[in-house]
């Protein structure tokens, strides 16, 4: 009798653990990364490539066109975003700002300025958690809370692009985001720029960007960086001289949706 009870408990616990694993995204969590190169080629991402393609996610424009997509991660405000927006306005360059709930709460005027000046607000979650240890319902709440916060203070009433907090993802989180109508956007060019007490000067940000630049780059910059704010105009102007054009993520999405050679009415 005792042996039967123990066996039943073991079976129950095994089943419960299996269900919990299915209900969270932790089975195969990854931190986004790739091998950098200075040959001005799109970085290879190995096994991630098939996953991104399966769920309509992006890390670069793979068309070979000499275009660049500027994206910024805005977790909190450090006083440099106005300067960044001034440069983007002067140079007529679009960008996407992936923001958190804290940023929306603490910098509503900047959110409005981004939207009013034609930039896109992306979803970086409300509280910046690791999605790979959460279930679908919890992730959905995080994403919807951020979207509602942005809609509550600006004219952008829906968000279609997301960047996972900390760059953490799994095939399950890609699938869930896709089911929620969101497009994962990773990056193909980045460098260590987020430590506010370890800024190295504008030349460092400029050199890092120019060394890694490639056709179709999705550039990730953190808006808390004084280096980035000081280097941005120089980076944009040099890339324009080299024949690059700056596009928005909407342009990238439409490139995949519309047939080659399509010309609008």
* Active site annotation includes 222: yes
- Taking the mean position of all CA atoms in its chain, how far away is CA 103? 15
Instruction: Using alpha carbons, list the distances in angstroms from residue 83 to 78, 80, 87, 112.
Output: 11, 5, 6, 15
Output the CA angle 215-216-218, nearest 5 degrees.
Answer: 125
The residue from 119, 124, 184, 222 that is catalytic is 222
Q: Does the active-site annotation cover 158?
A: no
Q: How many C-beta neighbours within 10 Å does residue 95 have?
A: 25
Task: Indicate which residue of 61, 73, 130, 230 is catalytic.
Answer: 73
Sequence-separated contacts (24+) of 40-44 with Cβ below 8 Å:
40/213, 40/214, 40/215, 41/214, 42/188, 42/214, 42/215, 42/216, 42/217, 43/188, 43/214
- Report, as residue numbers or ranges, the catalytic residues: 73, 222
């Amino acid at each position: 009798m005792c042996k039967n009870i123990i066996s039943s408990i073991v079976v129950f616990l095994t089943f419960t653990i299996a269900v919990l694993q299915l209900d969270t995204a932790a089975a195969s969590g990854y931190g986004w990364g790739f091998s950098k190169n200075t040959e001005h080629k799109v970085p290879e991402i190995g096994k991630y490539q098939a996953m991104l393609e399966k769920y309509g996610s992006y890390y670069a424009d793979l068309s070979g066109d000499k275009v660049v997509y500027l994206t910024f991660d805005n977790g909190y405000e450090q006083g440099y975003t106005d300067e960044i927006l001034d440069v983007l306005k002067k140079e007529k360059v679009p960008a996407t700002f992936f923001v958190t709930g804290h940023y929306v709460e603490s910098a509503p005027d900047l959110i409005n300025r981004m939207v009013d000046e034609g930039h896109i607000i992306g979803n970086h979650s409300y509280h910046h958690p690791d999605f790979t240890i959460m279930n679908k319902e919890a992730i959905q709440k995080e994403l919807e809370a951020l979207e509602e916060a942005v809609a509550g203070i600006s004219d952008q009433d829906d968000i279609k692009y997301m960047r996972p907090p900390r760059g953490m993802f799994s095939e399950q989180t890609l699938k869930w985001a896709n089911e929620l109508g969101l497009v994962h956007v990773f990056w193909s060019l980045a460098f260590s720029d987020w430590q506010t007490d370890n800024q190295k000067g504008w030349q460092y940000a400029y050199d890092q960007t120019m060394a890694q630049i490639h056709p179709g780059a999705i550039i990730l910059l953190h808006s808390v960086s004084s280096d980035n704010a000081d280097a941005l105009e120089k980076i944009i102007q040099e890339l324009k001289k080299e024949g690059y054009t700056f596009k928005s993520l909407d342009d990238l999405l439409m490139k995949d949706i519309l047939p080659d050679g399509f010309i609008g009415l």
